[in-house]
Structure 1
């Protein structure tokens, strides 16, 4: 089967991949403003409803670990279509749930189906080539940050006008439209790229045994952890400590999304002028600078919205400049195991993001300081890895 695509198909394929990027973050963030309404509907506490976030993340992570290498063995199209059907069934189950355990169960089912959206990274590897891959990954990383920022705002709007069920109806509609597009665009069935692979986790052993892959995946994980840590602790900083209203807090997240746009534009410009290793170094230096700035501003002026937001915008720009390139470098090492490679990178991202954000959140009264120190230490470690990979180029 030829994987070549025509020029006429490319814009629609890019739009479809962007929709998959949206669906990867939408079901997790869009329900956050609906927690009180969900708690009231199911006659429980918001703490119990909040467990749906943790359960969703667990189901999503476990699913993508299986789906990536499975897609290399049995093909992408059928697995992707099946996963979207499972995600829709999970969302329908959430709407029909009569109590909290049923709701939590169907959230896990929805998350397992959403694990299929990790195949968007493998499909970039399959459908595009060379610098096109890198440009598209920059655009997808930028869009992912924007979607993370606007999803809670959209969730608040849906909750205000139609209640908590509206976010699930919106997800079902988007997922159904994406399923139809996948069925039409992925012609030829996308047969296996590594049909002879034996054992799902042998594929992971294969990719992680490559030191360059491990280095690039770690760099990507570090930049994601910086971004994810801020998302996790931002409600504690802005609403609990600085006493911003939910509306004011949502506006700060919109600025965060704007930083992703600026970072994406810078990444596109740098991509045309600099080598990949140099571009990654530029982004990591920005993250290191943001760590220094947040420490200095907190020391000189104390905790305030500007002293947190300004360095975070710098960090976001650095993340957007670095992560698409490190992802692309990691994925390019295993074109015949793109599914396993995509899942491996994503697993490292979520493990690092979860662990580091959990660590930072334990410093309740020193959140900005702990953020700044982590950004500085992690970015220096990533710069060291990038320097090693540049000095020891991978030999095909």
Structure 2
């Protein structure tokens, strides 16, 4: 029963994060019309959310260690509810952006899911649980753009915020169900307590962030790429994201069931090399003027599969390299979202979103290859086969 409650809490925290990102992205056109701003300015609503999130996760970690995880989770959810309400019923875009920053700031409680996994499960099961939650997120990603498009067309962008308020209430209830578990952190004397001095922690963290950005940045740029660059409709965009979300679900299901087989020694280098080849091929298609999105889409899905796997495995390696404290979860979340948000903002500002994504693939993969080599096992043993 406790395990089920923990999974519900993790899933609700994950689903809560989709409203300000995946659902909201579909409302860019309506947002531009409502606030009478250029379309390209709408990306600020996502970038500022990401920056708020990045700042918030550091504060969450500090406060959680002083006040307790459950208190910080519940408090941040109440404040998130208030920030959501602040964005409604006005035409001041600056005030709206301020509310978006606050939404990111208080949505940062989502990062405590890393802490919950670290302190509720062993490392092997942690990989599977993370993949399971990612699969649930993939289902949300599958449905959220279509949901966002339908809600925007029928009720306007503000209806998304109203639904997000309801999600806050549900998530708070799920936290209350495991409040006792959150007050009993697990310590492992075989791991380093000071994550600041752990080379392994930081290296795996950066690798995970780079590969997480491959998925996150595509989600940020997807509506611009599909509707602005390739002339697709918002409904067609929603359908395309259904396919993308389904592919993510399959990816995470495979990771959950076959993580040990996927991670044989040396395989990670092969996966990174495949992403590099995909990046080069996408750049070639752009240079040849290929204007059909579905030439690129299978390549994006394939790159996402390998990057999601690499991000999942390396973040697990990072959090189990040190003792699981709220601050560890905060540092991981801060680096991931500030980095991904910045890369997404840069990519949105560039003329070709597809070329921006291909460039990110190439940059992330080359860096990941070098960093992975830095933390390679010194000698291959049976224990290293899970690397």
Which residue among 229, 234, 237 is the counterpart of 1:241? 229
Which residue among 373, 377, 386 is the counterpart of 1:391? 377
In the superposition, the TM-score normalised over structure 1's length comes to 0.83
Please tell me whether the aligned partners of residues 16 and 171 of structure 2 are also in contact (alpha carbons under 8 angstroms): no
Aligned match of 1:343: 330
Please tell me whether the aligned partners of residues 290 and 311 of structure 1 are also in contact (alpha carbons under 8 angstroms): yes
Please tell me whether the aligned partners of residues 61 and 350 of structure 1 are also in contact (alpha carbons under 8 angstroms): yes
Once the 2 structures are TM-superposed, how far is the Cα of residue 373 of structure 1 from its aligned partner? 4.3
Aligned match of 1:375: 361
State yes or no: 1:264 paired with 2:257.
no
Once the 2 structures are TM-superposed, how far is the Cα of residue 317 of structure 1 from its aligned partner? 0.7
Aligned match of 2:190: none
Once the 2 structures are TM-superposed, how far is the Cα of residue 9 of structure 1 from its aligned partner? 2.1
Q: Secondary structure at the match of 2:203?
A: helix
Once the 2 structures are TM-superposed, how far is the Cα of residue 361 of structure 1 from its aligned partner? 4.6
Once the 2 structures are TM-superposed, how far is the Cα of residue 133 of structure 1 from its aligned partner? 0.7
Which residue among 151, 174, 177 is the counterpart of 2:167? 174
Aligned match of 2:140: 147
Q: 1:336 to 1:74 in 2, by over 3 A?
A: farther
- In the alignment, structure 2 segments of 5+ residues that lack a partner are 188-192
Structure 2 CA distance, aligned partners of 1:79 and 1:294?
44
For this pair of structures, how many residues does the alignment match?
Answer: 375
Q: Secondary structure at the match of 1:391?
A: coil
Aligned match of 2:293: 305
Structure 2 CA distance, aligned partners of 1:19 and 1:357?
25
Q: Secondary structure at the match of 1:244?
A: coil
Matches within 5 A, 1:246-325: 246-275=234-263, 278=266, 280-281=268-269, 283-298=271-286, 302-325=290-313
Higher RCO (CA-CA < 8 Å; seq separation 6+)? 2
State yes or no: 1:24 paired with 2:17.
yes
Q: 1:160 to 1:341 in 2, by over 3 A?
A: same
Please tell me whether the aligned partners of residues 207 and 372 of structure 2 are also in contact (alpha carbons under 8 angstroms): yes
Q: Secondary structure at the match of 1:30?
A: helix
Once the 2 structures are TM-superposed, how far is the Cα of residue 118 of structure 1 from its aligned partner? 0.9
Once the 2 structures are TM-superposed, how far is the Cα of residue 301 of structure 1 from its aligned partner? 7.8
Q: Secondary structure at the match of 1:20?
A: helix
Q: 1:187 to 1:303 in 2, by over 3 A?
A: same
In the superposition, the TM-score normalised over structure 2's length comes to 0.85
Structure 1 CA distance, aligned partners of 2:117 and 2:304?
23
Q: 85-94 vs 245-254, which deviates more?
A: 245-254
Aligned match of 1:202: none
Q: Which deviations, in whole Å up to 9, do the C-alpha atoms of 1:18-41 show, x marking residues without a partner?
A: 111111232233233334444555
Aligned match of 2:85: 92
Structure 1 CA distance, aligned partners of 2:269 and 2:173?
40
Aligned match of 1:183: 176
Structure 2 CA distance, aligned partners of 1:101 and 1:369?
31
Once the 2 structures are TM-superposed, how far is the Cα of residue 381 of structure 1 from its aligned partner? 2.5
Cα RMSD after superposing both structures: 3.0
Please tell me whether the aligned partners of residues 141 and 323 of structure 1 are also in contact (alpha carbons under 8 angstroms): no
Please tell me whether the aligned partners of residues 46 and 341 of structure 2 are also in contact (alpha carbons under 8 angstroms): no
